[in-house]
Structures are given as C-alpha cells and as structure tokens.
C-alpha cells in the first residue's frame, strides 16, 4: 500500500535536501527511487531516470515518460522517441553522444499533463541532474520543460527557436547554460506542418555545438 504523501511544500524541501546530498548520477537515481513525496511513483511501473552519455556536451530534457518509457524504464523510446532520435541524428549525434532525461521520472496516469505540484516537487531532482551532467548546451523539449526550468509563462510557440539562459540554483556565471526550447516530438507528430520550424531549431543547435567544438 502506498505511504501517505507528504505536504507538497514539505515534499519539495525533502527533494531539495535529498538532491543536494548526492554527488553522482547513481546516488541521484537511488535518492529518487527512495523518494515518497510524489504520488506518480505509486502508479508508474518504473522510474525513468535517463539515457545516453552522461559526459555529453548536450542534454535533452522532456516532460515525462509515456507508456513505452514506463514499461522500459528509458526516456523517449516510443514513437515520439524515434522522431527525437532522428532529430539528434541531424546534429550528428546519437544516444551514445547525447544525454536524455525528463522533468518527471514517473509517468502520469493516462499520459496526462503533469500538475504544477508534480513538477515543483520533482524540480530539485532535475536541477541536480543538470548540475551532475554539466552539459554545454541544454535542449528543452516541449513547453513543460521550458516553463519549469526557465520560469517563463510563454507557450512553446513563443519560446522555441530562441537561445535563452538556464540558471542553476547558484546564481553565478558558472551555473548559466545556453538552452534552446524546441517542439516536443509528440506535438510534431500531430502538427507535421511545424516540422520545418523544428528543423531550423535543430540546425541552430548544431551550429552552436559546432562552434563550441571549434574552440
């Protein structure tokens, strides 16, 4: 039987404390597996932590696992994941050279949109995840990831294609990472007319990564 859930404010504080105490991705995963402050843990099959190369220069962050991801315990492995793989291939990379995760590690029932409380409670874990991977570039896949990590209220159609700055918990220059919000592949599968815009965004990301590699 699931344990009684903590008050959201208490759960967020506990998540923040738990995340701050880990120093490796393996420790972070164990801390998330032990965390009892998010009800999604009790309806999901698996914790979906991350996939790819933790030493990658680029980190893709989506919204939450879907049914395929929940079954396999890996992010972006369904139909939308196949499209994301093609997008990553367009910048000359694959899952051995990029890193992929989500804001939420557990699937919301019925693939519904995560609630504000669910995102807020899990935010300390994804922030620590970013700190540990320490990418040179962040790609925020979809509106939920963009609004959660950038603190912006604009929709993805306004944010996509723009280079913005992700600021970590510590407000200093070392915690600032350039980031590009892009359309979620699941949205592109429903709105194929937007794929041209998505392609432009991918080319902009490739150009940024190429310039970093040339330094």
Could you tell me if residue 146 is inside a domain? yes
DSSP 96-130: TTSEEEES-SSPPGGGPPPPHHHHHHHHHHHHHHH
Could you tell me if residue 163 is inside a domain? yes
Could you tell me if residue 190 is inside a domain? yes
According to DSSP, residue 37 is labeled S
Element (H, E) at 202: helix 195-214
Question: Rounded distance, CA 201 to CA 203, Å?
Answer: 5
Overall pTM > 0.75: yes
Question: What is the mean pLDDT, run by run of 10 residues, along the chain of 215 residues?
Answer: 60 92 97 95 96 96 96 95 95 95 97 94 96 96 96 94 88 74 96 94 94 78
Could you tell me if residue 3 is inside a domain? no
Domain holding 42, by residue range, is 8-214
Could you tell me if residue 103 is inside a domain? yes
Residue 210: Cβ within 10 Å count: 11
Residue pair 101/149 in contact (Cβ under 8 Å)? The answer is no
What pLDDT is recorded for position 172? 45
The domain that contains 83 carries what CATH number?
3.40.470.10
Question: Rounded distance, CA 121 to CA 111, Å?
Answer: 18
φ, ψ at 138 (rounded to 5°): -110, 135
Radius of gyration of the chain (CA): 16
What pLDDT is recorded for position 7? 77
Could you tell me if residue 1 is inside a domain? no
- The structural domain count of the chain equals 1
DSSP 86-98: HHHHHTT--TTTS
Question: Rounded distance, CA 57 to CA 14, Å?
Answer: 30
What pLDDT is recorded for position 214? 74
């Amino acid at each position: 039987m699931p344990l009684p859930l903590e008050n959201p404010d208490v759960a967020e504080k506990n998540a923040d404390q738990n995340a701050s105490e880990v120093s490796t991705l393996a420790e972070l995963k164990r801390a998330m597996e032990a965390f009892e402050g998010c009800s999604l843990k009790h309806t999901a099959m698996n914790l979906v932590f991350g996939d790819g190369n933790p030493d990658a220069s680029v980190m893709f962050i989506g919204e939450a696992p879907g049914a395929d991801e929940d079954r396999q315990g890996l992010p972006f492995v369904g139909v939308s994941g196949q499209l994301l793989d093609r997008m990553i291939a367009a910048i000359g990379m694959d899952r051995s050279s990029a890193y992929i995760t989500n804001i939420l590690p557990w699937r919301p029932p019925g693939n519904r949109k995560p609630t504000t409380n669910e995102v807020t409670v899990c935010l300390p874990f994804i922030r620590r995840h970013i700190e540990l991977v320490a990418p040179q570039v962040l790609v925020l896949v979809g509106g939920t990831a963009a609004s959660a990590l950038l603190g912006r209220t604009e929709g993805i159609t306004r944010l996509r294609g723009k280079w913005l700055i992700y600021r970590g918990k510590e407000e200093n220059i070392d915690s600032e990472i350039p980031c590009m919000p892009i359309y979620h592949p699941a949205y592109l599968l429903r709105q194929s007319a937007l794929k041209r815009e998505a392609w432009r965004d991918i080319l902009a990301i490739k150009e940024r990564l190429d310039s970093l590699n040339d330094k």
